Amino acid sequence: MGIALNEGLSQISLIFIYAAMAIYTAAFLTFANHLSRLASEKKKVQGVATKIERIAIILMILGAVLHAVGVVLRGIAASRVPWANMYEFSITGSLVVVTIFLFALTIKDIRLIATFVSGFALLILGSATSIFYVEVKSLMPALQSYWLVIHVVVAILATAFFNIAAALSIAYLLKTAKWIEKSKLKLMATVKRILDLFPSIEKIERLAYRFNIIGFILWSFTLIAGAIWAERAWHRYWGWDTKEVWTFIIWTIYAGYLHANATRGWTGKRSAWLGLIGFLAVLFNFTVVNLFFKGLHVYSGLN
């Protein structure tokens, strides 16, 4: 009767996650170093930059491989998909973000947000291992459904796309920020030089828009798949459960973002802020709603 959980394997998985974090840290520092070199006024320092960038990318790929091994081992240890609680959702989700980013690297313009992305992955893994960590547990009967695969995979993908779009929006807002432009601080001068390296604001804006479009379509699907599952598991397709409400709020914010772009001609800063608000809601939905609100989506596994 029942399944076998492998405690030892989940410990090994954790070691891989820690190792991935260490390598991501190195990648993050190298990317940051690369940016600061590019921003340097000295030609000689700039020359080394491409080599350093290559090292940073290799580090990030290595980190992603370790990260992937950690995720897969966790799945094997629990003998099910590795996204049934917040810890697992975090490690799987951040792996997806990193993977999408590594594939998107073929678009050269996106390279400059590497520092953001590696830093973000590190932050997520850090909070996952320190705050959200739980031992491997079997699936509660409510989660035993193939919808766990469909609904959650699409949600993770949507989050990953929103995440990259949000990084682009931050870059956009920094690049257009007047206070950085006007500042006389030396530090700000460096920041300005780094920002000058980024693609043009038009390009950043368009990229952010496209990542948000894909995110929105995936998010809509998450919402629909969730409703179908809820009809099976909770005897109604929609019940204004806290998580349902927040998922809908996020959908509305991004719908508003797309609408404002398409018909109101809301572009530039206002649009970037709207996209960021959407992503803040995504983060809020994942953290505060999961941990502190009562409702049916109580899957963090934390008390």
Partner 1 sequence: MVFPQRSADPNGVTQYFDTNPQLAPVLDAMQLFDVYTSVWFSAIYILLFISLIGCVVPRTGVHYRALITPPPAAPKLFSRMPASLSVKFTKNSTIPERAEAVLRKQGYRVIRNGKTVSAERGYVRETGNLVFHFSLIGVLIAVGIGGGLSFSGQRVLVEGETFVNNLASYDSFSPGTFFNESMLVPFSMSLDKFEVDFDLRNQTNVGTPLDFRAYTSSKLTPTSPATSGLIRVNEPLEMPGANIYLTGNGYAPHITIRDAKGNVVFAGANVFLPQSTTYTSLGVIKVPDAERQFGIISFFYPTVETLTTGALTSIYPAPIDPLLTMNVYEGDLGLDSGVPTNVYALDTSKMKQVAGGKSAVKGLRLTLGETVDLPNGLGTVTFDDIRRFASLDVSYNPGGVWVLLFALLSLAGVTTSLLVPRRRVWVRQTTEGFEVAALARGDDPILEKVVREVAEELKAKDKK
Chain contacts with partner 1 (rule: CB under 8 A): 1-5, 7, 135-138, 140-142, 144-145, 147, 206, 209-210, 213, 216-217, 220-221, 224, 227-228, 231-242, 258, 261-262, 293-296
- 204: which 2 tokens? 């950043």
- Least separation, in Å, of the C-beta of 88 and partner 1? 15
- Give the nearer residue to partner 1 in terms of CB position, either 38 or 154: 154
- Least separation, in Å, of the C-beta of 275 and partner 1? 14
Q: Which among 94, 194, 172, 151 has a CA at the least distance from the CA of 297?
A: 151
Residue with token string 């919808």: 147
Please give the full DSSP string across 131-200, using - where no structure is assigned: II-----PPPGGG-STHHHHHHHHHHHHHHHHHHHHHHHHHHHHHH-HHHHH---HHHHHHHHHHHHSPP
Residue with token string 């390279």: 111
- Give the nearer residue to partner 1 in terms of CB position, either 45 or 140: 140
- Least separation, in Å, of the C-beta of 195 and partner 1? 24
- 69: which 2 tokens? 């091994």
- Decide if 145 contacts 84 (C-beta within 8 A): no
DSSP SS3 for 220: helix
- Least separation, in Å, of the C-beta of 113 and partner 1? 18
- Give the nearer residue to partner 1 in terms of CB position, either 3 or 291: 3
- Give the nearer residue to partner 1 in terms of CB position, either 83 or 229: 229
- Give the nearer residue to partner 1 in terms of CB position, either 258 or 277: 258
- Least separation, in Å, of the C-beta of 82 and partner 1? 16
Q: Dihedral sign, CA of 207, 208, 213, 218?
A: positive
- Least separation, in Å, of the C-beta of 81 and partner 1? 15
DSSP SS3 for 21: helix
- Give the nearer residue to partner 1 in terms of CB position, either 135 or 196: 135
